[in-house]
Amino acid sequence: MIDFYSLIALTVAFLAYALLVWGLVKLLHQRQINRRLQQTHSAQSTATVHEPLQVQQEGGWHALLVSMSKLSVPEGDWQNSQLRLKFIRAGFRGPTAAQTYFSIKTILTLVLPLLVALLIGVWSPATPYPRLALYAVSLAGIGYYLPDIYLGWMTRRRLDEMRDTLPDLIDLLVICTEAGLGMDGAINRVSLEIARSSKILAEEFNLAALEIRAGSGRSTALKNLALRINLEDLDGLVSMLVQADRFGTSVAESLRIQSEVMRMKRMQRAEEIAAKVPVKMLIPLIFFIFPALLSVLIGPAVIQISAMFSK
């Protein structure tokens, strides 16, 4: 039985070592290509070469990320699926965001459990192989789901910030529309002013303004905004703006009503959080505050009584 677990450990170690060597070979190959390109473009001027060279220097790390992420990238057109939408909602929109995410998942799932098992085997050789295998499998499961947990946490954090700032943004939209600005100009202006309160919401509305400038319809840009954020309050705001644009109703009055509704919801959320505080305080009160208080109040009396009975 021990020989079987030893064979499994050696096989996993060999696969991890082969994966590491393959990634290093790809990295060295990419660096050689970058060096040749740098020599080719060395005769050009500094202004035209500086930016491509920077991209080429980053190409080595990009090649390593791509190599490490190939084991975790799902099959099919995942870039147009819900997984790509999760990256957008979490705020990871860089060109290497997907490769970084899948490489971290590969490392946490394969390399990290193997290294921990090897370190335990070196420091504690008497550890049974089934226990080492259990540690490795547990760490692999945790490492596989840990990036997803972090992605969900980032998405919730962004949603909480945008949910609290959205009523102020609607008030700014009301002021802009009542001052005579059109809806396109109001969205552009608000995206600049709201950056002091919420940079995330300012970035999202700035993207919507840029999409409108690029020639997309206002309704399409607002629907894409609601799809990127996935917030219930914003969905209602976008639906109201699309209907007001379609039927020609008063936008300022509709925005004022929407702002009042959102402020009421924000107050209800604050009251709900305040109502949960006494329940959450029970555990520290029972296990930490009451024992210390009782030891201070009853401790001297207990000492005196024990001293009196000892006499």
Cα–Cα distance for residue pair 311/309, rounded to 1 Å: 5
- Put simply, whether the predicted model's pTM sits higher than 0.85 gets the answer no
Amino acid at 271: E
Cα–Cα distance for residue pair 244/257, rounded to 1 Å: 13
pLDDT tens string 164-193: 888 888 888 888 888 888 888 888 899 888
Q: Which residues of the chain have pLDDT under 70?
A: 1-81
Task: Return the domain boundaries, the chain.
Answer: 2-41+49-157, 159-278
Cα–Cα distance for residue pair 16/139, rounded to 1 Å: 15
Cα–Cα distance for residue pair 164/197, rounded to 1 Å: 10
Cα–Cα distance for residue pair 129/118, rounded to 1 Å: 11
pLDDT tens string 216-259: 888 888 888 888 888 888 888 888 888 887 877 778 877 888 88
